[in-house]
Amino acid sequence: MIRYLTAGESHGEALIGVVEGLPAGVPLTADDLNEHLGRRWLGYGRGGRSKIERDQVHVYSGVRFSKTLGSPVGLRLDNGAYEKDRAGWPEKMALEGERGDVERVTLPRPGHADLAGARKYGFDRPPRGPDLRPVIDRSSARETAMRVACCSTARQLLRALGIEVGSHVVRIGRVGFEDAEAWQERAGELLSEEGGARALYEKADESATRMIDPELTERCVEHIDETKEQRDSLGGAYEVVVTGVPAGLGSYAQWDRRLDGKLAQAILSIQAQKGVEVGDGVAGAGRYGSEVHDEIIHQNGADGGTPEDAQTLRRRTNRAGGVEGGVSNGMPLVVRGFMKPIPTLIEPLDSVDLDSGEARTTRYERSDVTSVPAASTVAEATVALVVANALLERFGGDRFEQIQRRFEEARSSS
């Protein structure tokens, strides 16, 4: 199975990633990863960091002549590659020496990991504190840059098998699709095009807010501008879709092998994500069963059939999001994430200084008004890893050619 580790802090010299478990022979270059790292900076309402970082990953190991070797893939991503002084390296996170005159951060920000993390690791009191900087730097969403790079290696495995992952934003703050059928119909049109989910994300990338409706894009831009004037921030929701997924990934046999459970964990592992649904999960809770469950029909739409025809069935709809009983059913996987508003606000919030014990208001640090569009691209990456591992569980081998042969045999027989 594919697993990965990330290391590094947002004001450190670099982020490091190691990906283990990729089979040998998967097509992979740094450009493949950098494509999605660049997409992570898309979206209107981004803050100053987007003007500093120009993410370009360096592949150190595990690849030869643009193909994986089966050994661990080592990755490095420099912070602030063009303006390291503004990224805070090496002063804020020096590896050696004494603290000296380096400023301590002692005022925890509501909605961040600051206070909870400091109490967990002892940075809220002497001898290591109070200083929240270690918590701020590691819990920062900057970590998702390396996560996108790591998970995009698995995405290349999927792409080589004709499986594509895409996303689009369905809501930012108070502006979004009011009727789920409206976006599902438009998304469905894009998914039916050549490339499947790739056509969906390419269309979304053309929008300043990664929305597939031009009118909503304009309204969202206005909403973001108004929110910035109010010195506030916005959350939102997005949809990730995976096309080309075969039936049979995941399992109902044990709780920790259920595909929908793993998809949900992938979304909630991303910083600031507070909700998730697979298919029409939330809406379905308020409907009759006759309005929720996907009827089963013959592939060709005929009423009659033979036992042989029963091997090629499909669903009339996809309200389940491509998963039934923890197992993929051959329809596109659909999972939605819900992101809270960014907790770093221009308008200060109440807090308490850990050094003096005095009640104070937070200070503003460089941040975004919203990063829902960015979160949607990160979610693509984390979902891709889940699908790749489910695929390896069923068709796995040490070489890509083995996996490809088994995958094609299963597809041709279904």
The dihedral through the CA atoms of 39, 140, 101, 13 has a sign that is: negative
Model pLDDT for residues 22-47, shown as the tens digit of each residue: 999 999 999 999 999 999 988 886 65
Residue 305 pLDDT > 70: no
Q: Which residues contact 29 (CB under 8 A, 6 or more apart)?
A: 59, 63, 66
- Please report, for the chain, how many H helices and E strands are present, in that order: 13, 17
Taken in order of first residue, the domains within the chain and their CATH numbers are 3-119+138-279+318-413 (3.60.150.10)
pLDDT of amino acid 80: 73
Name residue 192's amino acid: S
Grouping H, G, I as helix, E, B as strand and the rest as coil, residue 281 is helix
Tell me the β-bridge partners of 164: 243
Per-residue pLDDT band at 307 (split at 50, 70, 90): low
pLDDT value at residue 94: 85
Query: Alpha carbon of 194 to those of 32, 182, 191: distances in Å?
Result: 20, 21, 8
Please give the pLDDT value at position 183: 81
pLDDT over 80 at 234, yes or no: yes
Copy the structure tokens of residue 371: 């990063």
Kindly report the number of other CB atoms within 10 A of residue 282's CB atom: 13
What H or E segment, with its residue span, contains residue 228?
A: helix 214-229
At 49 the pLDDT is 52
172 DSSP β-pair partners? 175, 236
Question: How many Cα atoms within 13 Å fall on the side-chain side of residue 374?
Answer: 29
Residue 87 predicted with pLDDT over 60 = no
User: What would the pLDDT profile of 309-331 be if each residue is shown by its tens digit?
Assistant: 566 788 999 999 999 999 999 99
First to last CA, the chain: 25
Q: Residue 344 — very low, low, confident or very high, per pLDDT cuts 50/70/90?
A: confident
Mean pLDDT across 335-358: 92
Spatial CB neighbours of 106, under 8 Å, sequence gap ≥ 6: 130, 131, 132, 353, 354, 355, 356
For the chain, what percent of residues have pLDDT higher than 70? Answer: 92
Q: Residue 82: its pLDDT value, please?
A: 47
pLDDT attached to residue 99: 79
Instruction: State pLDDT tens for residues 255-274.
Output: 999 999 999 999 999 999 99
Residue 98: the pLDDT is: 83
Using CA atoms, how far apart are residues 134 and 392, in angstroms rounded to an integer? 37
Is the predicted pLDDT of residue 221 greater than 90, yes or no?
Answer: yes
pLDDT of residue 29: 97
